[in-house]
Amino acid sequence: MPTSRGERCLIRGINWLPVLFMHLIAGWSYYAYVVKLCLHTVENSGESISYLVVYHILFVMLMWSCWKTTFTGPAAPPKTFRLPKEETEQFQKAAGTPEQHEILKRLARELPVLTQTPGGTVRYCDYCHVIKPDRCHHCFTCETCVLKRDHHCPWVNNCVGFSNHKYFVLFLGYGILYCLAISATSLKYCIKFATEELPGNDAKFHVILLCPVAIVFFTGFLGFFNFHMWLLAKNRSTTELYGVPVFRNGPDRNGFSLGLRQNVAEVFGGRKMCWPCPVFSSLGNGQSFGIRLVDLDPEQGITNGQQQWLEGGEEV
């Protein structure tokens, strides 16, 4: 890991390059579609206006979702999961001894923590000095623990987690619709320019390139969208796909799955009218989640929210 301030600044600058590249492509696509295709190539005014209306709706929703994903900071564990000051010194003195585990176990009983390490100990972050809530993991790029961490996405230079999971899924979905609309409406003009049915002009290069570029990005968006929708339906994160959550009775990759409808509602919320909009509507607080397990540690407290999940959940 970089230690000097200069190295950290350099890496942070490099991390923004994929974001810059994506926005340059989006800016060029706007110019090529709106100016070169709709205004300079399409002669039918009704057709041009209908293209522009649909395009701008999708463009606004795409960029809105993208910016919300990028600039919504990852949610970190609250102070209640941090070791009290009087416990911190004792914990540090007991480094590498069973006493450390006992300290964490005692503190975790007062928290809604139901998962543990494969070795059966309380999940603790040595970098952030917090007891990790369920589904929380440390991101070395963001240099913080992230609630319900899914993955760190280089294309938005941000961690996808509890605070922006919905925005990320919408970003992928609107990316599919955006690319599909561009490729479907520009294809015939791309063919006309290629076969010289239309006279060559300064719009030819942009229009011919527009359709294949849209198809390439459509394929990429579709692949990521299908993958993340599958994870959402199973109520798993990308992190949990490779590191199965461990409960008191052992690992269970479906431990947080409460059925398709509840799994989707956990990310998008209970009001369907809010689903298409990049506004926060996810359920819960990102610190505790419903589980389908019933064999729980009697010493482990369960919050009211978790109890409601347990009573209403169903397996998939």
Q: What is the pLDDT of residues 191-200, one digit of tens each?
A: 999 888 888 7
Residue 303: per-residue pLDDT = 45
Q: State the catalytic residues.
A: 153
Closest listed residue to residue 29, CA positions, set 191, 206, 202, 193? 206
In the predicted model, what is the mean pLDDT of residues 32-51? 95
Instruction: Please give the structure tokens belonging to residue 15.
Output: 């991390």
- pLDDT value at position 2? 56
Q: Which residues, including other chains, have CB under 8 Å from residue 38's CB and lie 6 or more apart?
A: 48, 51, 52, 55
Continuous segment of H or E residues that includes residue 130 = strand 130-131
Tokens 């294809």 locate to 187
Q: What was the pLDDT predicted at 185?
A: 96
Q: In 3D, which of 133, 116, 163 has the Cα closest to residue 303?
A: 133
State pTM to two decimals: 0.89
Per-residue model confidence as pLDDT tens digits over 235-292:
999 999 989 999 988 999 999 999 999 999 999 999 999 999 999 999 999 999 999 8
Contact 130, 219 (CB under 8 A): no
**DSSP character for 39?**
I
pLDDT-derived band of residue 313, with 50, 70 and 90 as boundaries? Answer: very low
Contact 113, 80 (CB under 8 A): no
Percentage of the chain beyond pLDDT 90 is 72
Alpha helices in the chain (DSSP H): 5-15, 17-30, 45-71, 85-93, 98-108, 165-194, 204-234, 238-242, 260-268, 304-312
Q: What SS3 state is found at 123?
A: coil
